[in-house]
């Protein structure tokens, strides 16, 4: 039930019902206030029932569309994780190919969560330190694709995505853009032989942002209803 309906209807009617019961105790006016309270209770239950039926109808109408949107979010979250496997040169054999190339999206989701949680997250710091100029160029190119993917999700389906998922997508997108900006501002991080204090600080900042992206992607994957 929409919040405005509680504020504009449910709460005022409940308060009015309570007032009617109190007045009935104070003023014995041929049961008028008691009858009014019973009538209001009937109206309240009628409104709640109609609202429930309408919500059920809307859920059925939009079920197929919502599932497609969930799959698009799944594709985005998978991309957000996989881009770092490629950038860190981690062989695809770490993945369960039977699951990845199967049709069970729930199992694929769990496999992507495993990849992010047990393989990518523990290796972020060491992997960022040894990225070559070519690796950085590949990563930035992929990050831009992922950022654009998020932008399309938000532009096309933002009104139909649940707020908690929407926030995660936006947070991932913000961290991606932040890494791109760091690379553009400080291209020195792509020089593997540059071991200055500043460069090491920037690399640590990038590693932190990558960890945030992976952690948010894990949360997003786990919130998806792919049944």
Task: Determine the Cα angle at 150 with ends 147 and 153, to 5°.
Answer: 155
Secondary element (H or E) of residue 54: helix 32-87
- Report which DSSP code applies to 93: G
Residue 6 has a pLDDT of 67
Residue 53 has a pLDDT of 77
pLDDT, tens only, 30-67: 778 778 888 888 888 887 777 777 777 666 766 677 88
Helix, strand, coil distribution of the chain in percent, nearest 5 = 85, 0, 15
Give pairs for 89-93: CB < 8 Å, separation 24+: 89/135, 90/119, 90/120, 90/123
pLDDT, tens only, 170-188: 999 999 999 999 998 888 7
Cα separation, 133 vs 141, in Å, equals: 12
pLDDT, tens only, 91-137: 888 888 888 888 888 899 999 999 999 999 999 999 998 888 888 99
Tokens 């952690």, residue located: 215
Helix (H/G/I), strand (E/B), else coil: 15 = helix
User: Is pLDDT above 70 for 73?
Assistant: yes
User: Is pLDDT above 70 for 27?
Assistant: yes
Task: Determine the Cα angle at 85 with ends 79 and 91, to 5°.
Answer: 130
Question: How far from chain centre, in Å, is Cα 29?
Answer: 57
Which has more confidence, 9 or 218? 218
Supply the mean pLDDT for the chain: 86
């Amino acid at each position: 039930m929409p919040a405005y309906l509680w504020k504009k209807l449910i709460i005022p009617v409940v308060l009015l019902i309570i007032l009617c019961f109190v007045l009935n105790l104070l003023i014995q006016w041929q049961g008028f206030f008691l009858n009014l309270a019973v009538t209001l209770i009937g109206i309240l239950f009628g409104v709640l029932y109609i609202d429930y039926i309408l919500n059920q109808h809307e859920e059925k109408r939009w079920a197929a569309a919502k599932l497609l949107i969930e799959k698009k979010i799944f594709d985005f979250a998978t991309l957000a994780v996989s881009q770092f496997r490629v950038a860190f040169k981690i062989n695809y054999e770490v993945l369960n190919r039977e699951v990845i190339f199967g049709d069970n999206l729930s199992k694929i989701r769990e496999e992507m969560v495993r990849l992010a949680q047990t393989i990518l997250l523990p290796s972020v710091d060491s992997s960022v330190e040894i990225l070559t100029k070519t690796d950085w160029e590949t990563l930035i190119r992929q990050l831009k694709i992922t950022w654009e993917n998020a932008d399309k999700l938000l532009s096309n389906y933002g009104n139909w995505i649940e707020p908690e998922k929407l926030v995660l997508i936006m947070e991932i997108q913000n961290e991606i853009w932040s890494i791109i900006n760091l690379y553009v501002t400080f291209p020195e991080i792509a020089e593997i032989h540059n071991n200055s204090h500043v460069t090491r600080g920037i690399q640590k900042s990038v590693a932190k942002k990558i960890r945030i992206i992976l952690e948010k992607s894990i949360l997003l994957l786990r919130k998806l209803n792919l049944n």
